[in-house]
Amino acid sequence: MSGQLQNPIYNPPLEPYISILHRDESLLVLDKPSGLLSVPGRDPALADSLATRVQKQFPSALMINRLDKDTSGIVLMSLNKKAHAAIASQFESRTTKKIYQAIVWGEVTGESGDIDLPLAIDPDNKPRHRVDPDNGRPSQTQWRVLERLPLPATRLELRPLTGRTHQLRVHLKALGHPILGDEFYASGEALAASERLLLHAEELSFQHPDGHHVTFHVPAPF
């Protein structure tokens, strides 16, 4: 059925309310749980988010990068405007290094590879995106097999070279291996195999506003 998808019931996790991996005078490094919005939605029912929770304790905090509601892992928030500009510019220029981990349906052929497929929003099924050779924006993802599982499923390391909405989810679906538990892009056994989306932002490297290079890592919870 076409048309914009209806919002599912939003029941974000309450524990941990906020998980802070690192804090200094410039920024907060947070571990966002699956099921929690990065920023509030327009609907008042979607007011609870990582940003609003953090801003109750740190009123000056501003979101630098975001993750999909159902993706867990590392999110950065700045504590002053100078830090925000310094780090946000690195995301815009693609000088940050991001590593994700995912478990996908099926046995992936090969040990590593590259996905280079342009992506655009699917106008008939918002907020889904799709591969669109004519109107899509260039999108690249590197992948590497970490473990082969008996479901059958495969644990992958993913390195997005671009930062498109739903990029990893759409690229893996196009590869023929949707991420387990993906309510937008998986179906049947792949959807039913997990109660949550098995996608996690596990590592992020960038230049701290004080000038030194930093890397933060949080293991996948699955």
For tokens 């701290």, the residue is 208
Contact 173, 166 (CB under 8 A): no
Q: Which residue in the list 31, 68, 70, 182 is annotated as catalytic?
A: 68
Is the backbone peptide bond immediately before 221 cis, with ω within 30 degrees of 0?
Answer: no
Residue closest to 194 by CA, chosen among 24, 26, 34: 34
Task: Sort 14 into a burial class: Cβ within 10 Å, 0-12 / 13-18 / 19+.
Answer: exposed
SS3 helix, strand, coil % of the chain, rounded to 5? 15, 35, 50
Which tokens belong to 195?
A: 């109660």
Query: Which uninterrupted H or E stretch holds 150?
Result: none
**Which string of DSSP letters, residue by residue, matches 78-145?**
ESSHHHHHHHHHHHHTT-SEEEEEEEEES--SSSEEEEE--EEE-TTSTT-EEE-TTTPBP-EEEEEE
Q: Does the annotation count 132 as an active-site position?
A: no
Residues with active-site annotation:
68
